[in-house]
Amino acid sequence: MNVIDGADSTTGLEQASTDVLAAAYQEAVALGLGREFIRLLEKELLRRDVRATRFLGIIPKQERR
């Protein structure tokens, strides 16, 4: 495995992890789970990938007006 393949694998794993987290967020909202739990998921999504949070309709604080 060369360096580029390793980087692609890491990026793929990170994206898959973010996708699972986004699905968990959507399920938590649908089930009406506690606000604090949902906020923790939102915070982690914001930390990981702003694009994923935009997909879920969460606007980062720095972009809110």
Other C-beta atoms within 10 Å of 25: how many?
22
- Cα–Cα nearest to 28, from 9, 41, 11: 41
Q: Evaluate if residue 23 carries a pLDDT over 80.
A: yes
* Domains contained in the chain, number: 1
> With 70 as the cut, is the pLDDT of residue 32 above it?
yes
Domain boundaries, position 24: 3-63
Q: Are 45 and 25 in contact (CB under 8 A)?
A: yes
Question: Alpha-carbon distance 48 to 22, whole Å?
Answer: 11
Helical residues (DSSP H) of the chain, grouped into ranges: 3-31, 35-48, 50-55
Query: Residue 5, Cα to own-chain centre: how many angstroms?
Result: 23
pLDDT at residue 33, as a whole number: 93
Mean pLDDT of 27-51: 86
